[in-house]
């Protein structure tokens, strides 16, 4: 097979049409394929592997049902995606449903050493509160205030997206688990389920709910993140 899925297959469902329109079917070259993704590959065109959109749709539906169940129970999802194409989308998606996120470098121990991470978050909250109340102005020198500002900026750079995370999340939503392998490893160690948008170079074996599709294009990432958001909101409605 050396072409994209036929139009008649895509026409069976509006979802398949939408998947096709955002380029969800584009994988990487065969040389980059991880063996675990093989069952989801339809064929190839111009040395680019093509995902079977019907299977992608099935994987997406399984992930949506799980996310919806989390919404019904008001569970916390930690969104993770630090590569350039995903950062702003992950941040926007998480914020739209008041969820924590890591849209930059994953800090080792964020899950496996959560007690220590919590101390850093608490420190950030305390410094912010003191600055907002004007406590720095009357009690510290200009140099000391500058040092506090630098500390706040550094803590925000690492922890701003997870300030609301007061306990371990119920699940992770990851864009490109190959890149975010440390986060995936920590979640696996802690028994935290993972939903992940992953391309043909990723290992699906460590992902609870894999969505094998294009994880490198803005349109594709945006589409899948919106699907996740809508599934969670649907769960909230039926609480």
Residues 180-231: tens digit of each pLDDT: 999 999 999 999 999 999 999 999 999 999 999 999 999 999 999 999 999 9
Cα(187)–Cα(60) distance, integer angstroms: 21
Please tell me the predicted confidence (pLDDT) of residue 154. 92
Taking the alpha carbons at both ends of the chain, their separation in whole angstroms is: 45
For residue 26, which phi and psi values (nearest 5 degrees)? -85, 120
Mean pLDDT for 1-25 is 68
Q: What is the pLDDT of residue 239?
A: 56
The torsion angles phi and psi of 190, rounded to 5 degrees, stand at -90, 0
Q: Percent of the chain, pLDDT > 70?
A: 94
Nearby residues of 199 by Cβ (< 8 Å), 6 or more positions away:
27, 28, 176, 178, 212, 213, 214, 215, 216
pLDDT computed for residue 2 by the predictor: 37
Tell me, yes or no, whether 37 and 143 share the same domain.
Answer: no
pLDDT of residue 201: 96
57, pLDDT greater than 70: yes
Domain contains 58: yes
Same domain, 26 and 138: no
Which pLDDT does position 145 carry in this prediction? 83
Number of H helices, E strands in the chain: 9, 7
| pLDDT band (50, 70, 90) for residue 161 | very high
Q: Give me the domain span that covers residue 152.
A: 114-162
Last residue of a domain, one of 140, 162, 184: 162
Asked if 156 and 173 sit in the same domain, the reply is no
Q: What is the pLDDT of residue 186?
A: 98
Query: At which of 162, 196, 222 does a domain end?
Result: 162
Better pLDDT: 47 or 82: 82
Query: Which of the listed residues 162, 197, 227 is the one where a domain comes to its end?
Result: 162
Number of independent structural domains in the chain: 2
- Specify if 2 maps to a domain: no
Cβ atoms of 176 and 163 closer than 8 Å: no
Cα 103 from Cα 221, distance rounded (Å): 13
What is the dihedral angle through the alpha carbons of 208, 175, 167, 99, rounded to the nearest 10 degrees?
-120
pLDDT of residue 4: 40
Same domain? 72 vs 152: no
Question: What is the CB-side half-sphere exposure of residue 159 using CA atoms within 13 A?
Answer: 25
Shared domain check, 29 and 97: yes
Residue 137 is predicted with a pLDDT of 77
Q: Is residue 193 part of a domain?
A: yes
Are 39 and 71 found together in one domain?
yes
Cα separation, 197 vs 194, in Å, equals 10
pLDDT at 134: 81
63-81 pLDDT, tens digit each: 999 999 999 999 999 999 9
What's the pLDDT at 131? 84
Residues 41 and 96 in one domain: yes
pLDDT tens digit sequence for 130-151? 888 887 877 788 888 889 889 9
Which residues have a Cβ under 8 Å from the Cβ of 145 and sit 6 or more positions away? 136, 137
84 and 172 part of one domain: yes
Give the pLDDT score at 127: 92
Q: Are 82 and 35 within one domain?
A: yes
Structural domain includes residue 206: yes
Averaged pLDDT of the chain: 92
211 is a domain residue = yes
- Provide the strand spans (E) within the chain: 41-45, 48-51, 77-80, 101-102, 171-175, 194-198, 209-212
- Does residue 94 belong to any structural domain of this protein? yes
The structure's pTM equals: 0.89
Q: Are residues 47 and 150 in the same domain?
A: no
Half-sphere exposure (CA, 13 Å, Cβ side) for 130? 17
By the 8 A CB rule, do 202 and 41 touch? Answer: no
């Amino acid at each position: 097979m050396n072409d994209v899925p036929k139009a008649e297959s895509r026409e069976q469902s509006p979802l398949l049409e939408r998947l096709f329109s955002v380029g969800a079917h584009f994988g990487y070259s065969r040389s980059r394929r991880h063996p675990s993704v093989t069952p989801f590959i339809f064929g190839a065109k111009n040395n680019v592997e093509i995902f079977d959109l019907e299977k992608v749709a099935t994987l997406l539906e399984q992930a949506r049902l799980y996310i919806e169940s989390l919404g019904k129970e008001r569970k916390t999802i930690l969104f993770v995606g630090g590569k350039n194409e995903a950062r702003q989308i992950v941040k926007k998606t998480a914020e739209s449903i008041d969820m924590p996120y890591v849209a930059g470098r994953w800090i080792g121990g964020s899950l496996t050493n959560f007690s220590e991470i919590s101390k850093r978050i608490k420190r950030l909250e305390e410094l912010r509160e003191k600055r907002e109340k004007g406590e720095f102005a009357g009690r510290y020198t200009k140099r000391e205030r500058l040092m506090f500002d630098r500390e706040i900026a550094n803590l925000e750079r690492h922890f701003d997206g997870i300030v609301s995370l007061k306990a371990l999340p119920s699940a992770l939503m990851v864009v490109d688990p190959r890149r975010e392998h440390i986060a995936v490893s920590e979640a696996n160690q802690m028994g935290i389920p993972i939903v992940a948008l992953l391309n043909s170079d990723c290992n699906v074996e460590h992902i609870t709910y894999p969505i094998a599709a294009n994880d490198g294009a803005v349109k594709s990432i945006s589409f899948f993140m919106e699907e996740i958001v809508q599934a969670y909101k649907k769960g909230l409605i039926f609480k």
